[in-house]
Structure 1
Amino acid sequence: MKSINFFLLSFILILFSCDYDEANSSGYIDLSSVEFAGDQYNELGENQFIYTETAPISTFSIDADGASYANVRRFIEQDQSLPPTAAVRTEELINYFNLDYGYTDATHPINLNGEISSCPWQTENKLVRIGMKAKPLNPIDTQASNFVLLIDVSGSMGSEDKLELLKSGFKDFVDQTSNEDKIAIVTYAGSAGLVLPSTSCSNKQTIKDAIETLGSGGSTAGAEGIITAYDIALENFITNGNNRIIIGTDGDFNVGISNQDELISLIEEKRDLGIFLTVLGVGRGNLNDGTLEQIANKGNGTYEYIDTIEQLHKVFIYDYSKFFTVAKDVKVQVEFNPEIVESYRLIGYENRALDTEDFEDDTEDAGEIGANQNITAIYEIVPTVASNLLNEKAFTIAVRYKLPDADTSIEMDLDINDQEVTFNQSSDFMKFTASVASFSMLLTDSEFKGSSSFSNITTWLNDINLNDEHNFKNQFKTMVQSASTL
């Protein structure tokens, strides 16, 4: 009897793991095609220290995603487990948070700031923080928007934390739009279809009614959906406007073009059309995080993960301005002085590294930054023996970006002077971002974590007084405490 019950239970689990159309017309399910797939992540490793004498120049693309932080938080707070190492991308943990970096120079759409302090987990070393702040969204000057919502309605999206959560979020999103904007809705399961042609956002209820009708079932023809969404976006393209596709999916593509490399190639073919991309990942168990992150990375886009109503509000309401790109292909290049800096390590950005020559190559893709968004990068540096950085030019920082509708980049520079500041004397921006970086190193058991500890991070966070309008920074402190018990 026990063996029979086990067989029945196994069959039921298999049945619920299948997309609906894996059953043929007679209702028979082909068990040979069933896979018990889990979440999929790309293994990245971590950046090593690089000797300045050998390679004095470090070049990378910015990363404006926040998905990894939300996903890590889900593991710790909801699943009460530490995340897999590959799920942790340090730069996305840091850039999840809104920081009140000042925007004072309207000459550029992004302003730069930075500082140097001692390193709290390796006291003989130093930390360099590079910060960017994008210009705020001005409702008076905001361009009209052409949005295409591309929504996965395949069978794997049937749970409450997937399609239903997305539907709630997209309805909130509709409420943020102006009457001059327009929205089309494309869905995909076994094939792609146009649910709602491009519709003026003066008809918000019509758009929300169309969202509410969506249900799940079928396999996942993601590539066909992507192609259809770009076609619709091009048909309704607004010259000098904000043209963007917003994808909501668990990334479980299983019909047509489905492997990561082919999907990336498809996206790369589309990214020069003047259409930006937002990728929203949902769910657990078959979340294809690796593919979703790369689609956003290669498609002039950003990637967010949504697991709760609160996170939904952050993406669709609090951070609505990020749906408006103010600078694209943003690259950073730092040149270190080998007489002052023995070696350096960029913390995070492992899959955003660029070659030195890519910095001035305007055909080389890089990351985008949305209105009012902030970006932070942190280097840990090893000073040369008996060196003193005070009043010495230890390095130069250059940034290149393009305006959203331009093909030629603009360069800007930042000089940061070392004032021999200890970590305790550094700004709250340094203390907070370094705390997040230290937390990330603990989660991944980094070989460079030094004296990092959950208790040290808590101490640093308790010494910080930053604006926390939506309580996310305080929630991070709670998450650190939760992680320490797992």
Structure 2
Amino acid sequence: MQSHSQYYLRGEVKDENGQGIYNAKIFLSSKGTIPFYTGSSGAFGIPLSTPTDSIIFMADGYETIKTLTDARKYNTYTLKFASANALVAKHKLYSLVPQNADDVTETYYNQGETYTNLIENDFTFAEKYPETGFALNINRASYSNIRRFLNNNMTVPPDAVRIEEMLNYFDFADKANTDRDNFSCATQLTQSPWDVGKRLLFIKFKAPYINVDTAPPTNLVFLVDVSGSMENPNRLPLLKDAFKMLVNNLRDKDTIAMVIYGGIVGTYLQPISCKYKDSINRSIDKLEASGETPGEAAIRTAYALAERMYKKEANNRIILATDGDFNVGQTTDKELEDLVVTHRNSGIYLTCLGVGMGNYKDSKLEILAKKGNGNFAYIDNIYEAEKVLISEFSKTMYAVANDASVNVYFNPYYVKRYRLIGFDNRKELLENSVAELEGGEVGSGHSLMAVFEIEPVDAMYDSIMRNNPDVNIAQLQLHYKVPQSDQQVVKNFSVPNNFEDFNTCDSSIRFATSVIMFGGLLKQSELWENLNWEDIIKIARNSAMENDFSQKEFVALVGKAKIIYEPYRKKKKKEQE
């Protein structure tokens, strides 16, 4: 019997100053698309079956290099610092799905509001592209922003509709799951209500829990926009009430500081223990709106303050609260993105709270949160503030996973085509970016859902194959980093062919489907032409939990949208005829 030699590739990755680069991503030709990472000193070790291989190194802020490597010797690689232009070119994707070349989109402006230009994911042939992926995050701003438009009897900008964030807004956790210490995953395959020839694959992740009572101290820097645009009741006054609620919920061992910007930028409140809640709340009460919006200088000041307060064992976070209307200094989405990405690996998280209407800059806050290794919510009323900062406090404030993403490997023997619903990419990134995922932050105990629309191969319609749970139609690979640690975690999950008729599926699956359909109709694209309001309302009413306020509110919101949208839909159909 012939034996095969086993080699071990060892080396280190340094910058131009000779410093080791932590968490540089490594791809080897023989290992496919699964990445490896350097340790805290920049060193790495990878087993190989051949003495030589093609290797690629990638790291934020550095130029990518591709070369040959030799496992028979120790290798040292130097990555050059990327120029500002190169940094922009390396901005990452939210999902790895091939796009149609003729996809187009338009910038949306409504009374000064701006939203990221998105390209919807379309169907992809599994035989040609069996592997795809998406980033995990706990952003849920899209849903409350949609609610704001509809409650004001307005149509919603299509690019404001991010279906993955709409799903994130609700808790679809598997109630039978009792593992609080590890990521869990449950999948369900069912029929698509809008296309009898398609299936829906639901993937539900549940994040580990942190016990907030015994958790390490929290160091928070409130970065508050007090410019003139913030004077309306649904902006600074709303945020003042929200921050006071948060302060009252913090522990004595937690610390607060505050930076404000409006005409000038300054540290309004030096770091103070939350033991002195009354004093902190009096300072919050005194905030007033006036002046311009020097957001760039404010962000730099907040990070400098957070770095002085930083403790490795603590939960270190900046909470930026604004309508996003930056008008002094670096103000474009890309300039602000490059500013925040330099702090991505600092151990300081960034939570963005958006407020207001008319000049609300959703695009800026979405990018800042994603690049700042944080999360993003839109606060349209005091009840939403309570949901984000109090009832979901641990989900918002305590990260259990960084740079989290999922790779999906479809089995072409069972899956003909697939479409990832939501996780749409920015148009300019599809044109300029390398094919690399932008992982997200996941909070304590958060439930996350991703959904694929699938066209099975013909054999899957056979009665035997249709209900054969021994068949795996896909494999999942969850990647994330443990916060405040060099540890890179990879977890594998199988996706069985556990098809169940839609009408008998768990109510959480049916309700999630109504949320997807709702987002699809608001998108108003050709991908969702088979949808109608009556079907959504019927599914939502039959699946909403009686004791769940958010789900019952959703049913009412769909009814309101139907009244707003039906005249537009009929007019558009008549024009097409």
For the criterion TM > 0.5, the same-fold answer is: yes
Residues of 2 paired with 1:36 and 1:68: CA distance? 16
Partner of 2:41: none
Instruction: Describe the shift of the 1:385–1:45 C-alpha distance in structure 2 as closer, same or farther (beyond 3 A).
Output: same
Residue 480 in 1 paired to residue 554 in 2?
no
Asked whether the equivalents of residues 127 and 416 of structure 2 are also in contact (C-alpha less than 8 Å), the reply is yes
1:309-458 equivalences in 2 (<5 Å)? 309-322=382-395, 323-351=397-425, 358=436, 365-387=438-460, 388-389=465-466, 390=468, 391-449=470-528, 451-458=530-537
Instruction: Describe the shift of the 1:356–1:331 C-alpha distance in structure 2 as closer, same or farther (beyond 3 A).
Output: farther
1:231 match: secondary structure: helix
Asked whether the equivalents of residues 57 and 356 of structure 1 are also in contact (C-alpha less than 8 Å), the reply is no
Residue 240 in 1 paired to residue 313 in 2?
yes
What TM-score, normalized by structure 2, do the two folds share? 0.74
User: Could you tell me the percent identity over the aligned residues?
Assistant: 36
Partner of 2:540: 461
Asked whether the equivalents of residues 76 and 83 of structure 1 are also in contact (C-alpha less than 8 Å), the reply is yes
Residue 116 in 1 paired to residue 194 in 2?
no
Q: Indicate which of 292, 296, 306 corresponds to 2:369.
A: 296
Larger mean Cα displacement after TM superposition, 112-121 or 380-389: 380-389
Residues of 2 paired with 1:89 and 1:406: CA distance? 31
Asked whether the equivalents of residues 190 and 255 of structure 1 are also in contact (C-alpha less than 8 Å), the reply is no
- What is the root-mean-square deviation in Å for CA atoms of aligned residues? 2.0
Residue 229 in 1 paired to residue 308 in 2?
no
Q: CA deviation at 1:268?
A: 0.1
1:167-182 equivalences in 2 (<5 Å)? 167-182=240-255
Residues of 2 paired with 1:420 and 1:281: CA distance? 40
Asked whether the equivalents of residues 244 and 277 of structure 1 are also in contact (C-alpha less than 8 Å), the reply is yes
The aligned amino acid for 1:385 is D
In structure 2, stretches of 5+ residues that fail to align are 1-108, 565-577
Residues of 2 paired with 1:239 and 1:190: CA distance? 34
Partner of 1:42: 116
Residues of 1 paired with 2:441 and 2:169: CA distance? 15
Q: CA deviation at 1:82?
A: 1.7
The aligned amino acid for 1:269 is T
Residue 163 in 1 paired to residue 236 in 2?
yes
Residues of 2 paired with 1:163 and 1:107: CA distance? 38
Asked whether the equivalents of residues 58 and 356 of structure 1 are also in contact (C-alpha less than 8 Å), the reply is no
Residues of 2 paired with 1:446 and 1:81: CA distance? 18
Larger mean Cα displacement after TM superposition, 456-465 or 423-432: 456-465
Question: What per-residue deviation string (whole Å, max 9, x for no partner) do you get for residues 321-363 of structure 1?
Answer: 12111111110111111121111000000138999974xxxxx
Q: CA deviation at 1:141?
A: 2.5
Asked whether the equivalents of residues 545 and 552 of structure 2 are also in contact (C-alpha less than 8 Å), the reply is no
Q: CA deviation at 1:99?
A: 2.8
Partner of 1:261: 334
Q: Which runs of 4+ in 1 moved over 6 A?
A: 352-357
Residues of 1 paired with 2:365 and 2:544: CA distance? 34
Asked whether the equivalents of residues 511 and 544 of structure 2 are also in contact (C-alpha less than 8 Å), the reply is no
Instruction: Describe the shift of the 1:468–1:98 C-alpha distance in structure 2 as closer, same or farther (beyond 3 A).
Output: farther
Partner of 2:322: 249
Residues of 1 paired with 2:123 and 2:545: CA distance? 31
Q: Indicate which of 75, 85, 89 corresponds to 2:158.
A: 85
The aligned amino acid for 1:409 is Q
Work out which structure has the larger RCO, using CA pairs closer than 8 Å and 6 or more positions apart in sequence. Answer: 1
1:272 match: secondary structure: coil
The aligned amino acid for 1:348 is G
1:296 match: secondary structure: helix
Aligned length: 444
The aligned amino acid for 2:558 is V
1:225 match: secondary structure: helix
Q: CA deviation at 1:139?
A: 3.1
Asked whether the equivalents of residues 143 and 241 of structure 1 are also in contact (C-alpha less than 8 Å), the reply is yes
Asked whether the equivalents of residues 172 and 449 of structure 2 are also in contact (C-alpha less than 8 Å), the reply is no
Residues of 2 paired with 1:332 and 1:288: CA distance? 29
Residue 147 in 1 paired to residue 225 in 2?
no
Asked whether the equivalents of residues 278 and 296 of structure 1 are also in contact (C-alpha less than 8 Å), the reply is yes
Asked whether the equivalents of residues 230 and 323 of structure 2 are also in contact (C-alpha less than 8 Å), the reply is yes
Residues of 2 paired with 1:36 and 1:114: CA distance? 39
In structure 1, stretches of 5+ residues that fail to align are 1-34, 359-363
Q: CA deviation at 1:465?
A: 5.3
Question: What per-residue deviation string (whole Å, max 9, x for no partner) do you get for residues 67-89 of structure 1?
Answer: 11001001111x11220111111
Partner of 1:74: 148
Asked whether the equivalents of residues 324 and 354 of structure 2 are also in contact (C-alpha less than 8 Å), the reply is yes
Q: CA deviation at 1:413?
A: 1.6
Instruction: Describe the shift of the 1:312–1:290 C-alpha distance in structure 2 as closer, same or farther (beyond 3 A).
Output: same
What TM-score, normalized by structure 1, do the two folds share? 0.88
Residue 285 in 1 paired to residue 358 in 2?
yes
Residues of 2 paired with 1:235 and 1:436: CA distance? 43
